Amino acid sequence: MDAFRAEARDFLTTSLEGEFRAARGLGGPGREHEGFDVRLAWERHLGAHGWTCLGWPKEHGGRDASLEQQVVFFEEYARAHAPHRLGHIGEGLIGPTIIDFGTDAQRARFLPPIARGDELWCQGYSEPDAGSDLANVQTKAVLRDGQWVVTGQKVWTSLAHVADWCFAVCRTEPGSQRHKGLSYLLVPMRQDGVEVRPIIQPTGTSEFNEVFFDAARTDAANIVGAPGEGWRVAMATLGYERGASTLGQQIGFRREFDAVVAVARAHGTLPALRDRLVRSWTELELMRLNALRTMRSLGAGEPGPEVAVAKLFWSEWHRRLGEIALDAAGPAGLLAEAAPYELSELQRIGLFSRADTIYAGSSEIQRNIIAERTLGLPR
């Protein structure tokens, strides 16, 4: 494992000192507008050197890396302050889904461009009336002349404005309700029947979008699983979302926490925030220990209840850190860094972290899942 860590560290250090030096730290929540071209080039650089899709089987373009190796890479990636990945939705969500549920033809068509960093993906799940209640999906698709014709709306679609493809849950059986009658389609984004409208966030940026499908088309073969099996495939995709990257995420959290402490010291607000900061530090340590426990259970093939609490815990923690970040600067924290609306890093964390407890499963839904599925409590 030491040799693998050294290899990953050497690659990242060398690469980020060269042509990609300017890409360091670019992107991330509230900053996805930064350096798109150089970050896309970075995706392709990673792919060309075999540092994407580490956990995928070798026959599908991965490294067959162990869970421990994946954790090591994500830790080193965070420590190197490498740019936020543009290809994480393709690599972490749709890629594993196609590997497990797709056809040989789909694997041959879609996996290589993801591994190379040539095609970007977005996730078409949430709708205006089907966010946390995903089973209420109303976007429709009908099979006509060898193609699926898709009509409807998706919302809160991360990176839709730069994506080449969308994996979308659509209702393909007329008159069906809830979990039944849904299908999982792969839809090209660059066509006349797709309109993307950015949603402006409190940070002034717009990495979330509305997506409107107006008779958009995709080939009949671009369905993952059989018609009507979309719910099962969609739930499997969500299961891939809680992976080895969590420990790397926490290194980024620690960097943010240290920055908040530094600002509190500089502005003289440290005494007033001391108790909240101590609690935040303690919870960050608990988060790390729970992540290690989760990795152990996943490695043993027996995921335990610690998996269920991870998203709820980190999102609530990060939102509280965002509130501390805004308070740490005192009254000056209410003023933008520069006109018209240039924010400091801590202001950006404070504002964007409000979304953490909503996206990828709201805290209310996460608590219901823990209560009903993990603890066995009544609905």
Report how far residue 115's alpha carbon sits from residue 154's, in angstroms, rounded to the nearest whole number: 26
Q: What does the block give as tokens for 379?
A: 């609905």
Helices within the chain (DSSP H only) = 2-17, 36-48, 67-79, 88-89, 95-101, 104-116, 230-239, 246-267, 270-299, 306-328, 345-352, 363-369
What are the Cα distances from residue 28, in Å, to 44, 164, 242, 273?
A: 18, 19, 18, 26
Report how far residue 82's alpha carbon sits from residue 307's, in angstroms, rounded to the nearest whole number: 27
Classify 360 in phi/psi space as left (phi over 0), alpha (psi -120 to 50) or beta. left
Find out whether 97 and 236 touch, Cβ atoms under 8 Å: yes
Q: Is 200 exposed, middle or buried (0-12, 13-18, 19+ CB in 10 A)?
A: exposed
- Sign, CA dihedral 306-312-314-320, equals negative
- Sign, CA dihedral 215-217-220-223, equals negative
> How long, in residues, is the chain?
379
Residues taking part in catalysis: 241
Under DSSP, the state recorded for 156 is S
Residue with tokens 């990060």: 318
Report how far residue 22's alpha carbon sits from residue 26's, in angstroms, rounded to the nearest whole number: 8
